[in-house]
Amino acid sequence: MSDDAAVADGRPFQFIAATSGYPWRWHGADAILLFFEPETRTAVLTFDFS
């Protein structure tokens, strides 16, 4: 994910948590990351396949 992820008006998402993806699926993502923007209460999950 880009380091400058933001909502349309430029407010950045805040990093909340990350976990390894392997416990959730054998051949899944290496990591699952959660970001949040509190004003719009928007949560974003992203998956890292590195």
Sign of CA dihedral 38, 7, 5, 1: positive
Q: Is the pLDDT of residue 2 over 60?
A: no
Q: Within its chain, how far is the Cα of 48 from the centroid?
A: 9
CA angle centred on 46, ends 17 and 21, rounded to 5°: 70
- Mean pLDDT score of the chain: 86
**pTM reported for the whole predicted model:** 0.75
Question: E-strand spans in 1-50?
Answer: 14-20, 31-37, 42-48
Inform me whether the pLDDT recorded for 32 exceeds 90.
Answer: yes
* Residues of the chain above pLDDT 70, percent: 90
Rounded CA gap, 21 and 24, in Å? 6
pLDDT digits (tens, 9 = 90+) for 3-26: 566 777 888 999 999 999 888 777
